[in-house]
Structure 1
Amino acid sequence: MSERTSPTAGQNSHPAGQGLPTSGQPDADRRLAAALWDFDGTLADTEPIWIAAEFELIPRLGGEWSEEHAHQLVGGSLPESGAYIAKVIGRDDLHPDWIVDQLLGVVVDHCRTKPIPWRPGALELLESLRVAGVPCALVSASYRELLDVIIDRVPAGSFQASVAGDEVQHGKPDPEPYLTACRKLGVDPQDCVVFEDSPPGAASGGASGATVVVIENVVPVPPAANQVRVRSLAELDANSVAEMVATRQSGAPDVP
């Protein structure tokens, strides 16, 4: 797991326990219309499961793999990941979709039958948003088969919509996944927050017009003007997230 990066000049940051309300509901004048969640690496720490599946599969295909190669796939679309693997191991005879199916089957089985490694504070933040009446959507590069397993394993009512990687034409870093989620919820992206841990996901959320909360995990995420950096979802509740969005909408300096 990569080390957390220090805030970059001009980039929003909320150190733990500083400037973040810890209870209560969003103020009426704060327009937090929806919260849009990435899954792998953000809601749950599943990237190590994917990487382990890669290290198990690729030697059986006659190839060699490395952490550097694995990190290239974090947050990207699964078809592109399958194509990358086929190219790296020199197996042009293997269709990328077949490679994806092998990996996806391992991850789905793990998430269906074993405890899910939720990121710290993730379920608590979901509950805070639910109590505050903020709709949430799960927006993932992973396929519907996996998202349905995850939605069944979170508390009922946690998500009002979901968008899977096999339901869009252009995956992350294209904004289509997050724009699709906003359309499903009937909200303006500029009134939404996106939770992300990867460069493609953060770029996708930012291009949609939403405020992006970055919680780095396996790989570093380049800074961007529309981002807020936190070390953990455990620093947040519905009120503090609404404050982030309101601050960006007003163009005011970040909360000290």
Structure 2
Amino acid sequence: MTWPDAVLWDMDGTLIDSERAWLDAAGALAAGSGVTLHRDDLDRLVGASMATTAGLLQAAGVVGDAATIVADLTTRVHRGLTENLVFRPGALALAAEVETAGIAQAIVSMSNRVIVDHVVSVAPVALASVAGDDVVNGKPHPEAYLTAAARLGVAIERCVVLEDSSTGLAAAVASGAVAIAVPLYLPIDASAAAAEWDDLVGRTLADLHQLAPPTATARTL
């Protein structure tokens, strides 16, 4: 057998450098309510589900119900990514090599479907996807990663997950996947991960092969 059967990409902060777009959108939304978000407030938003994000903003003083806050954030971020979508250095090169090897790939994101679909449409590789509004339980619950594996028809234990946040990493580990931490804006505790990488620059399929569990046979290069 070959390994891995699939590579599952967190999107914001892992595949694309979009955390700034989210933080800017949250800051602008807060300003509209006369609220200034502090660093601690913004840090809590990294990797959070849309429902959690709305709740955190409400707790910080943003006016509006959760649905309105989520819709406003989604509109702002979608607009920002339409104008300026930046893939993380090394991400597309790795994704292209994985695709050439015939390995399935999917985005697994807490962003809403409209944002995920935009990234999928722009990416130069084929990507399945699970969006935040596709699941009941957001990260750190493993539902999103389990859903992705089921849609791809593979066992989650034979999937590699790339994650940049503590919340996402917890979801990946809980799902049973082989999880790789690739922090961006915040340091994370990667003790439960199979590996921690500083970034994706120069990372190849061979690096994924090295993380194959003892029961898996890595793909021959």
Instruction: Please say whether Structure 1 and Structure 2 have the same fold, judged by a TM-score greater than 0.5.
Output: yes
Task: Tell me if 1:53 matches 2:25.
Answer: yes
Larger radius of gyration: 1
After TM superposition, give the deviation of residue 232 of structure 1 in Å: 1.2
Deviations 1:138-178 (Å, cap 9, x if unpaired)? 100001010111111011x421x210000100010000000
Q: CA deviation at 1:83?
A: 1.0
Uncovered stretches (5+) of structure 2, i.e. residues with no partner: 217-221
1:117 to 86, 104, 109: 86
In structure 2, do the counterparts of structure 1 residues 85 and 59 end up closer, same or farther at CA, with 3 Å as the change threshold?
Answer: same
Q: Give the match for residue 102 of structure 2.
A: 133
- How far has the Cα of 1:44 moved from its partner? 0.7
SS of structure 2 residue aligned to 1:249: coil
Contact preservation (8 Å) 1:30, 1:243 = no
Cα deviations by residue, 1:52-101 (Å, 9 ceiling, x for unpaired): 1112121211222112101101101011110111111164xx21121111
Distance 1:200 1:42 in 2: 13
Query: In the alignment, what sits opposite 1:7?
Result: none
Q: Distance in 1 between matches of 2:62 and 2:40?
A: 17
Deviations 1:186-235 (A, max 9, x none): 11111110000001100001111011111101112112333311111123
Partner of residue 195, structure 1: 162
Aligned Cα RMSD in Å? 1.5
The secondary structure found in structure 2 opposite 1:49 is helix
Amino acid at match of 1:37: W
For residues 85 and 139 of structure 1, do their structure 2 counterparts lie closer, same or farther at Cα, with a shift above 3 Å needed?
A: same
TM-score, structure 1 length as denominator?
Answer: 0.81
Counterpart of 1:212 (choices 179, 184, 187) is 179
Number of residues paired by the alignment? 216
The residue that corresponds to 2:148 in the other structure is 181
Which runs of structure 1 show a deviation greater than 2 angstroms over 4 or more consecutive aligned residues? 223-227, 248-251
Instruction: After superposing the two structures, state which structure 1 stretch, 62-71 or 178-187, moved more.
Output: 62-71
Contact 1:127/1:158, CA 8 A, preserved across alignment:
no
Other-structure match for 1:68: 40
What residue is the counterpart of 1:37 in the other structure? 9
Indicate the structure whose relative CO is greater, using CA pairs within 8 Å and at least 6 residues apart. 1
Query: What percent of counterpart residues are identical?
Result: 33
Structure 1 CA distance for aligned equivalents of residues 10 and 168 of structure 2:
7
Indicate how the Cα distance of structure 1 residues 196 and 49 shifts in structure 2: closer, same or farther if over 3 A, else same: same
How many angstroms apart in 2 are the aligned matches of 1:51 and 1:90? 14
Aligned counterpart in structure 2 of residue 166 of structure 1, from 133, 146, 149: 133
Corresponding residue SS for 1:233: coil
2:14–2:88: 8 Å Cα contact kept in structure 1? yes
- TM-score when normalising by structure 2: 0.93
Deviations 1:79-127 (A, max 9, x none): 1110111111164xx2112111111111101212x23121110111110
Q: Distance in 2 between matches of 1:184 and 1:65?
A: 38
Amino acid at match of 1:148: D
**Which one of the candidate residues 52, 73, 76 is aligned to 1:103?**
73
Q: Structure 1: state its 5+ residue gaps.
A: 1-28, 252-256
Equivalents in 1 of 2:202, 2:166: separation in Å? 21
Per-residue deviation, 1:250: 5.0
